[in-house]
Copies of this chain bind each other. A is one copy, B any other.
Amino acid sequence: MTQRYQVLLAYDGFAYHGWQKQINGLSVQEVIEKAFEKIHKQKTSITASGRTDAGVHATGQVFHFDADGKISEYGYEQALNTILPKDIRVLKVKKVSAEFHARFSAREKRYDYVLTRKKNDPFSYRYKTKVRDNIDVDVMRKASRIFLGKHDFTSFTHAKIPENKPRVKEIRNIVITEEGQDIRIRFEADGFLRYQVRMMSAVLIRAGEGKLTEKQIQAMLDARDKEAVRFNAPSEGLYLVKVTYDPEFAISDDSET
């Protein structure tokens, strides 16, 4: 009998060449699949909600895998967290029906982009993007409204997307909050194109620094042209925070309450 498991995962992406396996560097996926090989004594492939790029963090990545069902949810949590390095942590393992697919069942995603005004902070460079002291958060908030709703985001991706693949995404919410010297931009959408959050963040930062007007940003979006936006905010500020599924597949860290 094959049993499908759903896993909630957090990682500090600084040391990794992104989620997806590749030849030129260690990926999060590879490290986890090697841990499964130790547990199962055979190769096990895992499928995530989506890949994250090099240096990007996750507090709520989700993946699934199939196994023979002999190991309990708790058994996997303990085994994985024992084998995995400290910068990759399993928050929850759940048995699910075979209908569940970490990517195709996803209904909504939340990414946060974190900025800091702190100068010369040795604790920030892995986790936050440095911005000018005088960045105007209200200007950022106003500019962010341009992105709300359903739009063709071709201008906000560098990826080579096949012509027939939809580039329309629905941004449902953008909330910008300040915590001390940090600024957090929260994006919620039905999904995001590759680099979309970092390119939108780069544009909002430039708006807050007075280098881009709302009119210019609107024109970028309207252009639907991969060459229209030439900014990409650094990976270290980006966090995959939550993947939302239908209620039967909801997963959360018990300790978060």
**Taking beta carbons and an 8 Å cutoff, which residues of A are in contact with B?**
10-12, 57, 81, 86-91, 118-123, 125, 127, 133, 253, 255
- Check B90–A123 contact: CB distance below 8 A: no
- Check A125–B87 contact: CB distance below 8 A: yes
- Check B127–A10 contact: CB distance below 8 A: no
Chain B residues with CB below 8 A from A133, complex form: 255
- Check B255–A119 contact: CB distance below 8 A: yes
- Among A89, A121, A122, the most chain B Cβ lie within 10 Å of the Cβ of A122
Chain B residues with CB below 8 A from A81, complex form: 120
Chain B residues with CB below 8 A from A123, complex form: 10, 12, 57, 127
- Among A11, A90, A123, A253, the most chain B Cβ lie within 10 Å of the Cβ of A123
25 pairs, CB–CB < 8 Å, chain A vs chain B: A10-B120, A10-B121, A10-B122, A10-B123, A11-B122, A12-B122, A12-B123, A57-B123, A81-B120, A86-B122, A86-B125, A87-B122, A87-B125, A88-B122, A89-B120, A89-B121, A89-B122, A90-B120, A91-B120, A118-B255, A119-B255, A120-B253, A120-B255, A123-B127, A133-B255
Chain B residues with CB below 8 A from A10, complex form: 120-123
Name the residue of chain B whose CB is nearest to the CB of A85.
B122
Give Cα A118 to B86, complex, Å.
Answer: 13
Chain B residues with CB below 8 A from A87, complex form: 122, 125
Give Cα A245 to B121, complex, Å.
Answer: 23
Name the residue of chain B whose CB is nearest to the CB of A239.
B123
